[in-house]
Structure formats: structure tokens, C-alpha cells
Amino acid sequence: MNKLFLVFAITLVLVVGILAQQEVFAKSNQVYNDPINNISMEYPEDWTVIELEDSQIRAMFVPSVQISDEVFRAIAMVGVENLPPEMDLFDYSEIIVQTFQATIEDFDIIESYETALDQIPAQKLKFSARSEGIPVVGTAIWTIKDSKGYFILFMSTPKDFREYSEIARSMEESFQINGNSDDKSHNGQIPAWIKSTARWWADGSITNNDFADNVQLMIDEKIINTPELPGQELDNSQQKVPSWIRNNAMWWVEGLISEDEFVAGVQYLTQQGIIKVK
């Protein structure tokens, strides 16, 4: 069994007890840093961070009010683990889902989709489950870089999910693998009219070439950044665009994912030569 998720399963069941036993305190600093694993993530000032030693789950984050009244509302966890060099995101995702299904009571996937975490292709799912008989709803997002798995888990009671899931998404968007994000994915707000183009492209109303023209404009205006691209020229109209990229575009238009996640998808298209820019 994957060790990270064995730790997670134990944490899920014992979370209230762990919180009661930890000597915790609210930190005014809103940035969590793990220099051992070179990761950082922002968290709300009125949340408490509990750092764990000798564990793939590096830290847990909870609303500070939860400590004082001992009533579970929400929890977020960030984890890092070493992986075999040959493991890819698809294989890692299968292990995660299988382990969830085997270790979490009444685990059920509500939705699952491809996205990005710190500009790296990632997988995310929303799920429902039970912890010691208590219904919970949560999200999990994970990615792989340099034979390491990076993971953020969030869960809350169903009635608190809407409020705290927005906080969880902000935490995900702030997550950084230090040294990976030296170049920002974009340098300014994407113009509003790009959303109309993204919607038309996502639903097939315009071609890859039309969308590539808009990507080229954003690159020329230095709104988004792209790495050096291969010299091979490809016909935009003939390249198959992964369905998750089109989904990302529509989700961005509808406000379901962040601008950074949308830009990560655009960068993927240019890096893979699926759409051609100059």
C-alpha cells in the first residue's frame, strides 16, 4: 500500500484526537515553508498549522476556531513522498484512487479531472466519504516532479464545504515547488475578451488556428510566458487537443478554475506543439 495514503487514512480517522494532543498555536505568518522538501504554500491568518515530522504528510491546516471549540469543520493537508523513477502521473493517480477506495469509509468520487499544480500537469478529484461515521466532502490534487509526489488534501463537513473549499482552492493556487516557478506563467491579468475566445474554442466554434492567434497575441504582449519551443512546425488544424485542455478553458470561463490553471493548459499546448506560435 502506498505509504503516504496509509498515513492519510490513519490521519483521517484520528484527526480530532491528533488535534487535541498536539501543542498547537496560531501563526500570524501566512506562508508555510518546508525547506526539506522545498515547498511553500499560503494559508489563512486565522488558521493553525500543525507541522509533522518523519511523515509524508508534512503539515495539517485547520481553522483556529476548530481548536478552541473542538468541533470539526475543515482540514487541509500537504504531503510529499518519493516515487519510483518510472512512475508517471497516470500510474500515481491509479494508486491514489485505489488506496482511497480501500482505506476510506464510503469513499465515492464526485468528479475527477486533469488540471495543474504549480504549472505542472496534475490530477484533481472531489469526493464524499465518512470519518468515524461523520459525512465529509473533500478534494484532492496531486502531481509528480523529479520522482516525487506532491499532494494537497482538503475535507470538510458538507455544510461547511462551500465556505472552506474556496480557501482550499486559494491554498492550492499558492502552492509552489521552490525552484519550479522562477518564471511566472503570466505577467498580468488576461484580457476579458479572451474568455469569449476560450469559450468558442472550447465548444468547437472556432479552430485551433483561431485560438493560436489569440495565444500568440498574449505572448507578444507578454501577458503569458512560454519556454523555448521546438523548431518543428505543425499544422494547428490537424493536431488533436486533449479533452482536458478544452475542459480547462470552459472551466476558466465559468470561474471553476484559476487563471494560472488555464495558462498552464495553454503552455502545455505550445510545449507539445499542439498549437503553433512564433
pLDDT digits (tens, 9 = 90+) for 195-237: 788 888 888 888 888 888 888 887 777 777 665 444 434 344 4
* Rounded Cα–Cα distance for residues 93 and 267 (Å): 22
68 shares its domain with 105? yes
For residue 86, report the phi and psi dihedrals to the nearest 5 degrees: -85, -5
By CB atoms closer than 10 A (0-12, 13-18, 19+), residue 242 is middle
Residue 187 lies in a domain: no
Q: Are residues 53 and 152 in the same domain?
A: yes
Q: What's the CA gap between 25 and 20, in Å, rounded? A: 12
Q: Are residues 135 and 210 in the same domain?
A: no
Q: Kindly state whether residues 217 and 84 are assigned to the same domain.
A: no
> What does the pLDDT look like over 53-89, one tens digit per residue?
777 889 999 988 877 677 888 999 999 999 998 899 9
Q: Are residues 139 and 94 in the same domain?
A: yes
Domain assignment present for 246: yes
* 3-state SS assignment for residue 145: strand
Helix or strand or coil: residue 135? strand
Q: Which domain holds residue 89?
A: 3-177
Q: Output the pLDDT for position 75.
A: 92
Provide the domain count of the chain.
Answer: 2
In-domain check, residue 164: yes
Both 159 and 214 in a single domain? no
CB burial of residue 117 (10 Å; 0-12, 13-18, 19+): buried
Domain holding 156: CATH number? 3.40.1000.10
Do 33 and 59 fall into the same domain?
yes
Distance, CA of 263 to CA of 201 (rounded, Å): 15
- The answer on 94 and 151 residing in a single domain is yes
